[in-house]
Amino acid sequence: MRFGFFDDLHLEYVITRPDTPLPWINYLGTESYFGIISNTAGGYSFYKDARLRRLIRFRYNNAPLDGNGRYVYLRDDDAAQPDFWSPTWQPTRTPLDAYTCRHGLGYTRIASQRKGITCETTYFVPLGQDLEVWDVHLTNQRGTAANLSLFSAVEFCLWDAFDDANNFQRNYSIGEVEVVDGVIYHKSEYRERRDHFAYFACSEPLAGYDTQREDFLGPYRGWDAPAAVEEGKARQSLALGWQPMGSHHVRLHLEPGESKRVIFVLGYHENPENDKFDPAGTQTINKKTVLPVIRRFLQPDVVSQALADIQQYWRNLLQGMQVDTPNEHANRMINIWNVYQLMVTFNFSRSSSYFESGVGRGMGFRDSAQDLLGFVQLDAQRARQRILDLAATQMASGGAYHQYQPLTKRGNHDVGSNFNDDPLWLVLAVTAYLKESGDWSILQEQVPFDLEHGSEDSLLAHMERSLNYTQERLGPHGLPLIGRADWNDCLNLNCFSDKPGQSFQTTTNREGKVAESVFIGGLFVLAAAEMEAVYDRLGLTAKAAELAAQRVNMRAVLNTAGWDGSWFRRAYDHFGNPLGSQECTEGQIFVEPQGMCVMAGVGLEDGRAESALNAVREHLGTPHGVVVLWPAFKQYYLHIGEISSYPPGYKENGSVFCHTNPWIQIAEARLGRGERALDYYLRINPSAREEISEVHRCEPYAYAQMIAGKEAVKPGEAKNSWLTGTAAWSYVAVTQWILGIRPTFDGLKIAPVVPEDWTAFDVQRTFRGVRYFIHVERVGAGNAVRLEVEGAPVEGDVVGIPSGGQTEVRVRAYLGTA
């Protein structure tokens, strides 16, 4: 069952009923001012940092789930009895005669009709601005004139979203606003050390306004029936303490067929530190620099142009790669939505979605490093900066802060650093950047260690320390020590308690002294091979050779201690017992080491890879994707940790943890099995799952972190949509390994591994400033490739970068052996 449809031409998903199984959201903003918006206008906004600079208050886990947002109310002022509604359905949930929500790239448009009044509101953040626009279009479709009241409503967050939800003894007394010339300024905490404030403005003359929630709503009322709206009369309330909000009241007269446009602007502003207050010496905000911005974005032409600019911005970005393959779901995700999600994950890491509250986590080190694997193709400059920011949270030991706060870029001390896979992801991110951009200068950038301590070295040296970090931490079998956890955050093999019955949270983490990870071993082999290629190109042959020796050693260990007979083991616990082995009754086989080892090329030459992937298919494959492990843990084990705290089939305990699925796709491609690679790709492809939206429940245009596994109560039910490494890895898997269009240090490789029944496909891709037009045509079975560049045959499968200043290159690839 569907709740809407894809409008590929307009790059939109169109939701056709408001009661989607879960709120289906979109993201607004590109660089510093961001927002989340649901299909019923729920959500919130923030400046740079979802925790520290939150503009709109949002209550997670509310009932209904999605109960705060950017609301407008309409009231029929001619009706005999109070008659008002939400044109975005929430929060009044009044039945509407028509409803659509178009989630586009960087904007959301919600349109509805009730009693002959149509209302269409477009929400977006103009490029380069720290504000959002709500562009409301009203039309009277009745045969008679209509007198309407339009109310806006937004509840302000007192900036630090964590404090906002906690420190009520203080918060109830700090709220402050100003209302000047119809503009509502939210300036809580402004008088203190802060120099920032929010403003909320309206293009029309006001009949009134409200800034105190209780006055607007009325005592003991909720957002579904505000007293001010019901009565058609704003209170002119001025908040001091309690709950500051912003609401404008506009009265409109519409002749039959007449339309009106009302623009609201909600924004963030910082005044210079020495020019915060009005010169008059009052504690009033100095509005000198903000007023021109407000005036500008209340003008209809400016707003229309700003929306057109965003649409153009996205069309340009998508041009980076466009494909035409025999599969519509692959096309749609590669050409539109997967790219969009790359941007979203780049911007938000794992901080703010409808499942991530924005207060708990900032930017994740391993998360953002992996997000870059896909994002490098979109914006090399921003990718470069992110790499340097990440590396700057690395310590001299090579270990890295697991998370950092985007506003301050400082590592998070509470979470700490000993996730032993973290540093290696940096190596992969940098080499992906090098291959895409050819910008080798980044390696010489001087980057501090742990910002706080002042020492620094080149990025190249940071990468070297990443690899050394693994080598300096090998366990009894010669495998890397797992530390607090590796990629699987919930595999906590070093947790102990002297007191029986304690949960993983209260136990002592022994800093990973003994437990080992096969997965990190595979990751090391992959990262080391990449680094050796870098050393080779820099002429650092001795370093390359030293690393190669370590890599060969690690391979040998993976093939012995890491091998279980039919697949790769997962880990060894503190007591030296294997996980992911036939010896185990639960957790016999895990997906991560199969994917990572084969991606690293381990076992390709001796049948191990094939055996491991066949075992994945047999034990982990389900119609909804590949589950992370089997059989799931049925009870809690202290020495295994959080993974066993989940019920079977959920999250790390046996769900389809989507992030790992592209690894298997890539691994299958490395084995040359195109049918299987594509089959796995389509099982989790959101568009391909659109038909079962009532089962999947999350958005059909974004990957979710997990889909409940075969041992779950509701297999196929997705959760935690949007902020997941699945976006980057799926993009890499399908574009670079299945379609096989892969940046290398020396050019663009064309090595498709697609099903036998794919007779042809086309790819256009910009690479190092050159546009490649690639036509792939099957001439026989198998994956052998013969290339023609500009009509002339070339050796091998890499198309070089033209030296003669050409900006376009035409490639024909003949696939298979006739």
d(CA 469, CA 400) in angstroms, rounded, equals: 10
Query: Site residues for ligand BGC, window 116-155 (CB under 6 A)?
Result: none
CB 628 to ligand NOJ: min, Å? 8
Is residue 778 part of the contact set for ligand NOJ (CB under 6 A)?
no
Region binding ligand NOJ by CB under 6 A among candidate stretches 146-154, 323-331, 364-372, 430-438: 364-372
Catalytic residue among 389, 439, 457, 489: 489
Nearer to ligand NOJ, 111 or 359 (CB): 359
CB 652 within 8 A of CB 630: no
Is residue 366 part of the contact set for ligand NOJ (CB under 6 A)?
yes
Nearer to ligand BGC, 490 or 599 (CB): 490
d(CA 728, CA 532) in angstroms, rounded, equals: 24
Cα dihedral 477, 480, 481, 486 sign: negative
CB 328 to ligand BGC: min, Å? 31
Is residue 350 part of the contact set for ligand NOJ (CB under 6 A)?
yes
Which of the listed partners (ligand NOJ, ligand BGC, none) does 367 bind, with a CB threshold of 5 to 8 Å by partner kind? Answer: ligand NOJ
CB 424 to ligand BGC: min, Å? 17
Nearer to ligand NOJ, 527 or 809 (CB): 527
- In the list 66, 130, 160, 367, the residue contacting ligand NOJ (rule: CB under 6 A) is 367
Which of the listed partners (ligand NOJ, ligand BGC, none) does 487 bind, with a CB threshold of 5 to 8 Å by partner kind? Answer: ligand NOJ
Which of the listed partners (ligand BGC, ligand NOJ, none) does 366 bind, with a CB threshold of 5 to 8 Å by partner kind? Answer: ligand NOJ
Binding mask 652-681 for ligand BGC (x = CB under 6 A): x-----------------------------
d(CA 571, CA 591) in angstroms, rounded, equals: 12
Q: By C-alpha distance, which of 405, 423, 545, 508 is closest to 472?
A: 423
CB 158 within 8 A of CB 188: yes
- State CA 610 to chain mean position distance: 32
Nearer to ligand BGC, 725 or 743 (CB): 725
Q: Any residues with CB less than 8 A from the CB of 665 and at least 6 apart, and which?
A: 677, 678, 680, 681, 730, 733, 734, 737, 738
Catalytic-residue membership of 49: no
CB 642 to ligand BGC: min, Å? 6
Nearer to ligand BGC, 367 or 699 (CB): 367
CB 365 to ligand BGC: min, Å? 12
Query: Site residues for ligand BGC, window 568-597 (CB under 6 A)?
Result: none
Is residue 76 part of the contact set for ligand NOJ (CB under 6 A)?
no
Burial (0-12, 13-18, 19+ Cβ within 10 Å), 144: exposed
d(CA 329, CA 339) in angstroms, rounded, equals: 14
CB 430 to ligand BGC: min, Å? 23
d(CA 641, CA 662) in angstroms, rounded, equals: 26
Which of the listed partners (ligand BGC, ligand NOJ, none) does 327 bind, with a CB threshold of 5 to 8 Å by partner kind? Answer: none
Which of the listed partners (ligand NOJ, ligand BGC, none) does 36 bind, with a CB threshold of 5 to 8 Å by partner kind? Answer: none
Query: Residue 143 to residues 115, 252, 287: CA-CA distances in angstroms?
Result: 11, 16, 44
Angle, helices 300-318 vs 338-348, to 10°: value is 110
Q: Give the position of tokens 């390696």.
A: 443
- In the list 135, 164, 652, 797, the residue contacting ligand NOJ (rule: CB under 6 A) is 652
Nearer to ligand NOJ, 235 or 366 (CB): 366
- In the list 208, 364, 423, 578, the residue contacting ligand NOJ (rule: CB under 6 A) is 364
Nearer to ligand BGC, 121 or 655 (CB): 655
Query: Residue 722 to residues 46, 481, 586, 701: CA-CA distances in angstroms?
Result: 18, 31, 30, 9
Angle, helices 608-615 vs 591-599, to 10°: value is 150
Region binding ligand NOJ by CB under 6 A among candidate stretches 158-166, 303-311, 488-496, 785-793: 488-496
Nearer to ligand BGC, 486 or 564 (CB): 486
- In the list 392, 490, 738, 741, the residue contacting ligand NOJ (rule: CB under 6 A) is 490
Is residue 719 part of the contact set for ligand NOJ (CB under 6 A)?
no
Is residue 489 part of the contact set for ligand BGC (CB under 6 A)?
yes
Nearest residue relative to ligand BGC (C-beta): 489
Is residue 518 part of the contact set for ligand BGC (CB under 6 A)?
no
Q: By C-alpha distance, which of 400, 449, 392 is closest to 422?
A: 400
Q: Give the position of tokens 């650092």.
A: 540
Is residue 83 part of the contact set for ligand NOJ (CB under 6 A)?
no
Nearer to ligand NOJ, 150 or 571 (CB): 571
CB 467 to ligand BGC: min, Å? 24
d(CA 465, CA 458) in angstroms, rounded, equals: 11
Collapsing DSSP states into helix, strand and coil, what is residue 362?
coil
Q: How many helices (H) and strands (E) does the chain have?
A: 20, 44
- State CA 214 to chain mean position distance: 36
Is residue 651 part of the contact set for ligand BGC (CB under 6 A)?
yes
User: φ and ψ at 476, to 5 degrees?
Assistant: -60, -30
Burial (0-12, 13-18, 19+ Cβ within 10 Å), 321: buried
Binding mask 81-120 for ligand BGC (x = CB under 6 A): ----------------------------------------
Region binding ligand NOJ by CB under 6 A among candidate stretches 51-59, 293-301, 361-369, 467-475: 361-369
CB 620 to ligand BGC: min, Å? 18
H-only helix segments in 81-234: 161-164, 168-171, 213-217, 227-231
Q: Give the position of tokens 């540093």.
A: 423
Q: Any residues with CB less than 8 A from the CB of 254 and at least 6 apart, and which?
A: 117, 138, 139, 140, 145, 146, 147, 148, 260
Instruction: Give the pairing of strands 704-707 and 244-254.
Output: unpaired
CB 729 to ligand NOJ: min, Å? 11
Query: Site residues for ligand NOJ, window 653-712 (CB under 6 A)?
Result: none
Nearest residue relative to ligand NOJ (C-beta): 489
As a 3-state breakdown, the chain gives helix, strand, coil percent values, each rounded to 5, of 30, 30, 40
Return left, alpha or beta for 697; rule: phi > 0 is left, psi -120 to 50 is alpha, else beta: left
Which of the listed partners (ligand BGC, ligand NOJ, none) does 364 bind, with a CB threshold of 5 to 8 Å by partner kind? Answer: ligand NOJ
Which helix (H) or strand (E) is 82 found in, with range? none
- In the list 125, 323, 490, 698, the residue contacting ligand BGC (rule: CB under 6 A) is 490
d(CA 169, CA 176) in angstroms, rounded, equals: 16
d(CA 42, CA 245) in angstroms, rounded, equals: 15
CB 273 within 8 A of CB 73: no
Nearer to ligand BGC, 223 or 404 (CB): 404
Buried b (16+ CB within 10 A) or exposed e, 401-433: bbbbbbeeebbbeebbbbbbbbbbbbbbbbbbb
Nearer to ligand NOJ, 99 or 657 (CB): 657
Binding mask 592-631 for ligand BGC (x = CB under 6 A): ----------------------------------------
Is residue 484 part of the contact set for ligand BGC (CB under 6 A)?
no
Is residue 214 part of the contact set for ligand BGC (CB under 6 A)?
no
Which active-site residues does the annotation give? 489
By CB under 6 A, name the binding residues for ligand BGC.
489-490, 651-652
By CB under 6 A, name the binding residues for ligand NOJ.
350, 364, 366-367, 487-490, 652
